Amino acid sequence: MAQTMRQDPDGVAPVGAGGRGVEPRVYDFRTGTELSRETLSQLRACSERLTAALDRIMTVYLDCPTRFEVTAMGACPLEHFLSEAPAHAALALVGFVPAAPAMVWQIGETLTGPIVNRMLGGPAEALERAPTALEAGLLRTFTQEMVDIWATTWDRLAAQSPQVQEVVSESAALQGKIAEGETVMVTIAAEIAGVAGEMRVCLPVASAQRLVGETDASRARDRRVNEERLRLVSGRVVVPVSVVVQEVRMPLSRAVALQAGDVIPLGKPVGEPMTVAVRGRPQFLAETGVVGGRLAAKLIGPSPPARRR
Describe the crossing of helices 109-119 and 133-153 by its angle, rounded to 10 degrees. 90
Cβ atoms of 278 and 251 closer than 8 Å: no
Residue range 25-219 forms a domain whose CATH class is: alpha beta
pLDDT at 201: 95
pTM of the model: 0.61
pLDDT at 181: 81
Cβ atoms of 104 and 91 closer than 8 Å: yes
90: buried, middle or exposed (CB in 10 Å: 19+, 13-18, 0-12)? Answer: buried
For 221-279, the pLDDT digits (tens) are: 555 555 666 566 656 667 788 888 888 888 888 888 888 988 888 888 888 898 888 87
Please name the amino acid found at residue 78.
Answer: L
DSSP letter assigned to residue 160: T
Distance of alpha carbon 128 from its chain centroid, rounded?
35
Domain boundaries, the chain: 25-219, 273-304
Please name the amino acid found at residue 162.
Answer: P
Distances (CA, A) of 33 to 26, 76, 101, 299: 9, 9, 17, 39
Phi-psi region of 293 (alpha: psi -120 to 50; beta: other; left: phi over 0): left
Proportion of the chain above pLDDT 90, given as a percent: 36
For 86-113, the pLDDT digits (tens) are: 777 899 999 998 888 999 999 999 999 9
**How many whole angstroms separate alpha carbon 283 and alpha carbon 278?**
6
Please give the radius of gyration of the chain, using alpha carbons only, rounded to the nearest integer: 31
Bond prior to 98 in cis (omega within 30° of 0):
yes
Nearest to 274 by CA among 289, 263, 264: 289
